Homo-oligomer: A and B are copies of this chain.
């Protein structure tokens, strides 16, 4: 009985990730996911109530892992400037390393219905909060401008990185995503002015 109790649960998520990445959410029939996961169609419904719940769970799990990695790498007491540079590096690095996840996050997620996206949005929250924390620490330490709107800034930072990743994917990943981290961090920190 060394088998993991949730063995099938994770097999399904894994199969779904691969299937969504390859075919997109709407063209990923439940039977296709089941085959990719190596389980019967009906088995999926022992672990998920609706097909959409697979996507929701997938995001919760994967973004949870991602945030954990950030938390592990970013020292709460480190220099906010260093933290922001590191954030860019990890963001690009992790998505470049897990292309399936990147595809699903950047491209397929957006195909889901508005209600579904709202539910998934909750999974992004901790990551947005993490960005906010860095910005806030920067302001408080005097490293960042005192007049920054923290809530606005976290969106700008997230949105900017998000678009870079999406563009990289749509263009066919012809260049290194990781290599954009420095330019991105510079943009955030120094802005455009000479």
Contacts and interface: CB of A to CB of B under 8 A. Distances in A.
Contacts of A166: 159
Interface residues of A, number: 52
A194 B145 contact: yes
B152 A180 contact: yes
Protomer copies: 4
Interface in A93-142: 107-108, 110-114, 117-118, 121, 135, 138, 142
B113 A24 contact: yes
Interface string A142-171: 111111110011011111111110110010
Tell me the interface secondary structure of chain A in the complex.
helix
Contacts of A187: 148, 152-153, 156, 191
B114 A146 contact: no
7 contacts: A110-B111, A138-B192, A152-B184, A159-B162, A188-B191, A190-B193, A191-B191
Interface of A: 24, 26-27, 81, 84, 107-108, 110-114, 117-118, 121, 135, 138, 142-149, 152-153, 155-164, 166-167, 170, 180, 183-184, 186-194
